[in-house]
Structure 1
Amino acid sequence: MQQGSLVEIEITDLNHTGEGVGRSNGQVIFVPDTVIGDRISARILHLKRHHAEGKIQKILKESPYRIRPRCIVADKCGGCQWHHIDDNYQSQIKHYQVIETLKRIGGFSDIETSPILTGTSSLGYRNKATYPLGQSTTGNIQTGYYRRQSHHIVNLNQCPVQDPDLNPFLAEIKQDIQGRGWTIYNETTHQGQLRHLALRIGRKTKEILLTLITTDSQLSGIEEQADIWLQRYPNLVGVTLNYNPTKTNVIFGKETHTIAGRPYLREIFGGLTFHLRPETFFQVNTEAAEALLGVILEKLALDGSQRLLDAYCGVGTFTLPLAQHVFEAVGIEVQETAIQQAKENAKLNGIDNASFFTGTVETILPQIQDQFDIVILDPPRKGCDRTVLDTLLSLQPSRIVYVSCQAATLARDLKYLCQEGKYQLTFVQPADFFPQTPHVECVAFLKI
């Protein structure tokens, strides 16, 4: 096999990034835009040490799980990878991959589980979209997601996975930017003003926030344009400007200024009202996250006597709904702005038995001397720091609930917690927060 050669393979598996897996003469080949059951002709693009990377040249036989993409740029846009796979089969794959990863990496067997949770729809579910801005060779403003493995924008006027109420903004905001003469940031020269367009919507309230991320905190004419937007869009409750002058791939800067309206939207989650700001982390699939919260409440069967710690608590997304069912709830979060919002949301809902600490979990957790009955973990994709796991093994809460967006790091951390027999894995619930992509969320329950 050589780079550039053509091979005929059958796709027999999908890897963790969503690419199809086939073999030719014992050589593993990864091919995007495929699904188990496809027989294809593929051109070899890259030869790696343990695998090759290919590209479809022709589909010789379609998988029964292949469907026609419901997105007109599915073959170009890097935002989603699985528009060509049947929704039900996507869920089956994700459930299987979570359980198999726990077995392979974690060493677990006979895992008790239930069918994967889903939201109300596999399309139109995203409550937040952050689009890079660009400019075509003819000078027209563009916005959309990047092409796969590039920083070339696929220009969009609608997106089938974002809330449909956000679609009218895309074409019209581009025209307004063009008319204002605002310049677009260039990643190479680091010149220009506008970097991203961010839209956020409350799925229950339909309130919308519009944010421009810019290198220029004094964007000429922004006040007048913000007033025009508020008049044009009845559901738009606020226009904000986020200032990010740094040479970085990080989207949001540290300063956000309200130009018109208010700096937050209202959302209803778990029966509570939350104020969400443009840069606030909040699960993008509100309905699926609520379904996961329901499973947590059901499995914990809280009676009001427990003391609960929510590590990586964010704005109190899980802390506050659970606080209503326990004696005391404590949250830890590294981002100070998120803790401020968590406190505001607690006050907004009249919850007075929740307190919050700012700092890393590995720093704050060992300093808390109180004993907790339940610890909720919801770390980033890299999983928990070893210090956190060691502290939990020392504190020995009777139950641990681990919410994860990365099955491999979940399996690693659960193996460490259970290796000496102090904890047992009792139940795992996968959840599809990100239809049309290979990403999967899940929650694991441990007890002493």
Structure 2
Amino acid sequence: MKNQAENWQQGNIIEFEIVDVSDRGDGVGRWGDRAVFVPDTVTGDRVRVRLLRVKPQYAYGKLLELLHPSPHRLRPRCIVADKCGGCQWQHIQDAYQQEIKRNLLLQALQRIGEFVDPPVAPLLSGLDFLTYRNKATYPLGVSQVGSVQAGYYRKGSHQIVNLNQCPIQDVRLNPFLAEIKLDIEVQGWSIYNEKRKQGQLRHLSLRIGRHTGEILLTLVTTDLQLRDREDIARGWMQMYPNLVGVCLNYNPHPTNAILGDRTECLAGR
């Protein structure tokens, strides 16, 4: 116990097995009678972890090494899954994801709803546990060489992981990412800078009707008077047959809220 007490400090490295998954999606291990929450892990993983935020009865840790992988673990299909904050469980097999989610629902009903034996059926699953996302909203940024970037933030930061496709979103949205970024760059529209509170374009949003295949593209901007905005929108409509509308959402406020209250339709509906 003395050795465990000495190791229970921020920055120390400990080894243990992940025994559960929390309601926030992090793996949970035990160090003596204390809980350690570790992102990017799953039940059955044997891990080496650095303690980060340490409290008397629990801590948050960073995965340093996977000593022995869980049977529920798989190789993520996305090459930036370990960096991107756009999704959380690509390393967990679909069947076990369903089991985790069902157990979380059961625990919530029992703990909060005070149901003794809630009648929760097994979760339903699609044909593919990827490609399910029918809406994607990407913050925009600029690389060190000046090219326009779009992607999700790195975990725990506001640094953009630049994407040209995403295995989580509907595959019919993938062709838009690289082309729209290039068009924005060629057009010369400025990209909003969070620190300086300057620039025009903040986000690129894509939404698809799962059954119709109709796509809506929305640019979130601090400035409605983008140069040649209607011409560019009509050009996109001609380029992409399933694009049925191009909109401009106005959000001039220095806030983390993505959308503002005002939206204009530049082309289509």
Give TM class, smaller chain: over 0.9
- 1:105 to partner: Cα distance: 2.5
Deviation per CA, 1:283-309: give whole Å up to 9, x if none.
xxxxxxxxxxxxxxxxxxxxxxxxxxx
Q: Which amino acid aligns with 1:84?
A: H
For 1:52 and 1:77, the matched residues in 2 are separated by: 23
Mapping 1:160-309, distance limit 5 Å: 160-262=167-269
Q: CA separation in 1, counterparts of 2:117 and 2:245? A: 50
Deviation at 1:225, TM superposition (A): 1.1
TM-score after normalising by structure 2: 0.95
SS in 1 for 2:95: helix
Query: 2:106 — aligned with what?
Result: 99
Question: Partner of 1:83 in structure 2?
Answer: 90
Unaligned segments of structure 2, at least 5 residues: 1-7
Contact preservation (8 Å) 2:102, 2:120? no
Equivalent residue number for residue 154 of structure 2: 147
> In structure 2, how many angstroms separate the alpha carbons of the residues matched to 1:88 and 1:102?
22
**Unaligned segments of structure 1, at least 5 residues:** 263-448
The equivalent of 2:58 in structure 1 is 51
* 1:61 aligns to 2:68 (yes or no): yes
Residues 179 and 3 (structure 1 numbering): CA distance in 2 closer, same or farther, change over 3 Å?
same
Q: SS at 1:145's partner residue?
A: strand
The alpha carbon displacement at 1:113 in A equals 2.4
CA deviations on 1:274-327 (whole Å, 9 max, x unpaired) are xxxxxxxxxxxxxxxxxxxxxxxxxxxxxxxxxxxxxxxxxxxxxxxxxxxxxx
Larger RCO, structure (CA 8 Å, separation 6 or more):
1
Partner Cα distance (1:111, 1:30) in 2: 27
How many angstroms does 1:119 deviate by? 3.2
Distance in 2, Cα, partners of 1:256 & 1:216: 12
3-state SS in 1 of match to 2:133: coil
Partner of 2:24: 17
Quick check: 2:33–2:57 contact (8 Å CA) kept in 1?
A: no
- The amino acid that maps onto 1:8 is E
- State the identity %: 60
Paired letter, 1:28: A
One-letter code aligned to 2:231: E
SS at match of 2:181: helix
CA shift at 1:49, angstroms?
Answer: 4.3
* CA shift digits 1:362-383 (9 cap, x unpaired): xxxxxxxxxxxxxxxxxxxxxx
Deviations 1:320-348, CA, capped at 9 Å, x for gaps: xxxxxxxxxxxxxxxxxxxxxxxxxxxxx
**Alignment-derived partner of residue 138 in structure 2:** 131
Partner amino acid, structure 1, of 2:226: L
Structure with higher Rg: it is: 1
Structure 1 stretches of 4+ moved >4 Å: none
> How far does residue 51 in structure 1 lie from its aligned partner after superposition?
1.3
Structure richer in helix, relative to its length: 1
**Cα RMSD after superposing both structures:** 1.1
Q: How far, CA to CA, are the matches of 1:148 and 1:102 in structure 2?
A: 30
Following the alignment from structure 2 to structure 1, what is the Cα–Cα distance between the partners of residues 201 and 56?
41
How far 1:121 moved relative to its partner?
A: 2.6
**One-letter amino acid matched to 2:44:** G
Report the counterpart of residue 3 of structure 2 in structure 1: none
TM-score (norm 1): 0.57
Contact 2:150 2:163 in 1 (8 A): yes
Shift of 1:141: 0.7
Match of 1:38 in 2: 45
- Amino acid of the residue matched to residue 192 of structure 1? G
Task: Look up the match of 1:337.
Answer: none
SS at match of 1:44: strand
Deviations 1:215-237 (Å, cap 9, x if unpaired)? 00110011121121111111011
Q: Distance in 2 between matches of 1:254 and 1:36?
A: 43
> 2:160 & 2:21 partners in 1: Cα distance?
27
Q: Secondary structure at the match of 1:3?
A: coil
**Distance in 1 (alpha carbons) for counterparts of 2:218 and 2:104:** 36
Cα shift at 1:120: 3.8
Partner of 2:30: helix, strand, or coil? strand
